[in-house]
């Protein structure tokens, strides 16, 4: 009698499972697809992408991380690749496309090694060895600069902006970016501290990109509360209040029985008196400008106007903090406590029409620790893309000022690194050697893509670049305009070392993580969940 063998279920019905080579191929394919999507945007001549969301809103951009974030990627591995771009953005603010393209290429090369029956663990080991060596090589080939070398910093700022719609005003924008970073940097002992949040990026449609300006202080999207207040105040003494300039609404607080009209009048008089007292207190501290995080009562507005005090209400909390850092004011909660030394100082506070809206400028702050870049441009799409370019540029300038180590771009660093890693691989034995060699070849994807995106022949470009590097020209890069070799350093194509080290370490991390996966177990949704998420939702 034969016994029927019962299958054993260790997972719920409907669970999808993908194992071994299938799992690997599936993952590598997803990663390559993501990399391929952003690859065409790399470099000054890279193309842009138009992204349209469910509501029909359009973004036109060249920025790797923005594209990936907007794509709402669903595949779990593809999501891991998107994460690299986000890490790169957080750590350096530039090089997001580079990091993703490198990860895709590392996996593509790994696939070739897998086809040669090399075990994933060997590939992972080789990749890790190569990545570690790459960090040393990069440090060795990098150049040291001083953190206040404006000339070089401007070149770095400009390199990050090349090809991002900011082309025509690159000079001016680079100057603004460098000045803003140098303004807010703080030297503490031997360390340089920079908080990127201290640079406020404001955009306003209108005029042209060339009208973008750096304000030594803060610009607010707000007008003064009362038209009888002065439109501008010189030598501003600024009070920052995070409590309302009004008497609490009695309706919600307590019920007062008023039986006689005189009582009502007495009550109103009292309220008026209290508000007047508050304004007097402000005025006697010497304040001629007040920014209030909460509301300002109409009667108080009237008193303020009479005292010629410029007042703005409902200022965002984040802006209050920035105002404090820019003007040196202390944020006060209780108006009774306000003293002269709590006030901040600005050379000029002014209401000004920008585009079709009134804005408040707090400028000419002395030694501000918070500044604003007011970005102008013909349409919102333009100002948004310029904002992204400026923000990348701020990132690279900060990274350069902090670490003071920089390298040349235009593929020079990648070819030099690749050459050194190939030499390193030759010193190794065993199968890891193949993985290290594959890693060194991976780096060639950067100059190759720069060439392809510029309509040049990638094989040609790589050949001439490699031969220049073999002759000892470490900063030989590709001139994307004529396809010839150029000295990228002399041509001012300069990037912080951190862009490269971070891109390599995160690309390696994610590629090796993906290679070590040999089993994908995906839970299926139960009926209720599926109904809730809609028929198109897949996990």
Task: Return residues touching ligand ADP (CB under 6 A).
Answer: 41-44, 46, 64, 94-98, 159, 162, 409-410, 446, 450, 480, 493, 495
Provide the token pair at 425.
């691989």
The CA–CA distances, whole Å, from 106 to 112, 113, 492 equal 10, 11, 29
CA angle 333–334–340, rounded 5-degree value: 95
Nearer to Mg ion, 28 or 394 (CB): 394
Nearer to ligand ADP, 291 or 475 (CB): 475
Provide the token pair at 193.
């501290």
Residue span binding Mg ion (CB under 5 A) among the ranges 93-101, 111-119, 136-144, 275-283: 93-101
**Partner touching 98 among ligand ADP, Mg ion, none, CB below 5 to 8 Å by kind:** ligand ADP
**Partner touching 126 among ligand ADP, Mg ion, none, CB below 5 to 8 Å by kind:** none
CB distance 447 to 414 below 8 Å: yes
Shortest distance (Å) from residue 419 CB to ligand ADP: 17
Compute how many other C-beta atoms are within 10 angstroms of the C-beta atom of residue 45: 17
Shortest distance (Å) from residue 294 CB to ligand ADP: 42
Provide the token pair at 126.
């080789």
**Partner touching 409 among Mg ion, ligand ADP, none, CB below 5 to 8 Å by kind:** ligand ADP
Nearer to Mg ion, 94 or 319 (CB): 94
Say how many residues touch Mg ion, by CB under 5 A: 1
Shortest distance (Å) from residue 157 CB to Mg ion: 11
457 catalytic? Reply is no
Residue span binding Mg ion (CB under 5 A) among the ranges 87-95, 150-158, 166-174, 474-482: 87-95
**Partner touching 377 among Mg ion, ligand ADP, none, CB below 5 to 8 Å by kind:** none
Nearer to ligand ADP, 94 or 416 (CB): 94
Token match 């006689």: residue? 260
Catalytic member of 392, 442, 501, 512: 392
Shortest distance (Å) from residue 499 CB to Mg ion: 8
**Partner touching 44 among Mg ion, ligand ADP, none, CB below 5 to 8 Å by kind:** ligand ADP
Catalytic member of 41, 61, 63, 212: 63
319 catalytic? Reply is no
Nearer to ligand ADP, 87 or 162 (CB): 162
Residue 200 phi, psi (nearest 5) = -90, 130
Nearby residues of 308 by Cβ (< 8 Å), 6 or more positions away: 229, 230, 288
Shortest distance (Å) from residue 421 CB to Mg ion: 23
Shortest distance (Å) from residue 53 CB to ligand ADP: 21
- Rounded Cα distance between 480 and 308, Å, is 59
Point out the residue whose Cβ comes nearest to Mg ion.
94
- Rounded Cα distance between 85 and 89, Å, is 6
In sign, the C-alpha dihedral spanning 471, 476, 481, 483 is: positive
Token match 């006697």: residue? 284
Shortest distance (Å) from residue 378 CB to ligand ADP: 22
463 catalytic? Reply is no
Residue 71 phi, psi (nearest 5) = -75, -10
- Closest by CA position to 116, among listed 431, 329, 378: 431
DSSP strands (E only) in 210-336: 213-215, 218-220, 232-241, 289-292, 310-312, 331-332
The yes or no reply on residue 94 touching Mg ion (CB under 5 A) is: yes
Catalytic member of 37, 61, 87, 96: 96
**Partner touching 96 among Mg ion, ligand ADP, none, CB below 5 to 8 Å by kind:** ligand ADP
518 catalytic? Reply is no
Nearer to ligand ADP, 324 or 410 (CB): 410
- Closest by CA position to 38, among listed 503, 391, 529, 536: 503
Residue span binding Mg ion (CB under 5 A) among the ranges 25-33, 53-61, 90-98, 471-479: 90-98
Nearby residues of 205 by Cβ (< 8 Å), 6 or more positions away: 355, 376, 377, 378, 379, 380, 383
Q: Would you call 357 helix, strand, or coil by DSSP? A: strand
Shortest distance (Å) from residue 158 CB to ligand ADP: 8
Nearer to ligand ADP, 215 or 450 (CB): 450
Give the max Cα distance, the chain: 107
Nearer to Mg ion, 178 or 279 (CB): 178
Half-sphere exposure of 405 (CA within 13 A, CB side): 13
Active site residues: 63, 96-97, 392
- List residues near Mg ion by CB under 5 A: 94
């Amino acid at each position: 009698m034969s016994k029927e063998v019962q299958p054993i279920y260790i997972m719920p019905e409907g669970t999808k499972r993908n194992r071994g080579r299938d799992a690997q191929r599936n993952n590598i394919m997803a990663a390559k697809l993501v990399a391929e999507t952003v690859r065409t945007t790399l470099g000054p001549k890279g193309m842009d992408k138009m992204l349209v969301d469910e509501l029909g809103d359009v973004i036109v951009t060249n920025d790797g991380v923005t594209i990936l974030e907007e794509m709402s990627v669903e595949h779990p591995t593809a999501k891991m690749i998107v994460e690299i771009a986000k890490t790169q953005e957080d750590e350096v603010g530039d090089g997001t496309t580079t990091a993703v393209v490198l990860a895709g290429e590392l996996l593509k090369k790994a696939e070739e090694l897998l086809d040669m029956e090399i075990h994933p663990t060997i590939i992972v080991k080789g990749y890790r060895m190569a990545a570690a060596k790459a960090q040393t090589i990069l440090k060795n080939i990098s150049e040291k600069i001083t953190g206040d070398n404006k000339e070089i910093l401007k070149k770095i700022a400009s390199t990050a902006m090349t090809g991002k719609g900011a082309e025509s005003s690159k000079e001016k924008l680079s100057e603004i970016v460098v000045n803003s970073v140098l303004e807010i940097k703080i030297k503490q002992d031997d360390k340089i501290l920079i908080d990127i949040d201290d640079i406020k990026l404001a955009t306003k449609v209108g005029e042209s990109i060339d009208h973008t300006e750096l304000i030594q202080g803060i610009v607010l999207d707000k007008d003064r509360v009362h038209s009888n207040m002065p439109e501008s105040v010189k030598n501003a003494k600024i009070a920052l209040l995070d409590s309302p300039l009004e008497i609490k609404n009695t309706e919600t607080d307590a019920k007062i029985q008023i039986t006689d009209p005189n009582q009502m009048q007495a009550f109103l008089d009292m309220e008026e008196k209290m508000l007047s007292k508050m304004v007097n207190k402000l005025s006697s501290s010497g304040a001629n400008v007040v920014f209030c995080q909460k509301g300002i009562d109409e009667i108080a507005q009237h008193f303020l106007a009479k005292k010629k005090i410029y007042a703005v209400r409902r200022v965002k909390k984040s802006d209050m903090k920035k105002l404090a850092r820019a003007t040196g004011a202390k944020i006060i909660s209780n108006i009774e406590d306000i003293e002269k030394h709590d006030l901040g100082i600005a050379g000029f506070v002014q209401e000004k029409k920008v585009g079709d809206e009134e804005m408040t400028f707090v400028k000419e702050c002395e030694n501000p620790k918070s500044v604003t870049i007011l970005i102008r441009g013909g349409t919102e799409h333009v100002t948004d893309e310029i904002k992204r370019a400026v923000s990348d540029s701020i990132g690279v300038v900060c990274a350069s000022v902090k670490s003071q180590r920089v390298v040349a771009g235009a593929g020079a660093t990648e070819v030099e690194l690749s050459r050194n890693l190939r030499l390193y691989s030759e010193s190794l034995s065993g199968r890891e050697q193949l993985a290290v060699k594959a890693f060194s070849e991976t780096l060639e994807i950067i100059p190759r893509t720069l060439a392809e995106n510029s309509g040049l022949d990638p094989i040609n470009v790589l050949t001439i670049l490699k031969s220049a590097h073999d002759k000892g020209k470490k900063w030989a890069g590709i001139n994307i305009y004529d396809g010839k070799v150029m000295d990228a350093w002399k041509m001012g194509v300069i990037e912080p070392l951190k862009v490269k080290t971070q891109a390599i370490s995160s690309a390696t991390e994610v590629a090796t993580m993906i290679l070590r996966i040999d089993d994908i177990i995906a839970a299926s949704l139960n009926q209720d969940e599926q109904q809730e998420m809609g028929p198109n939702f897949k996990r």
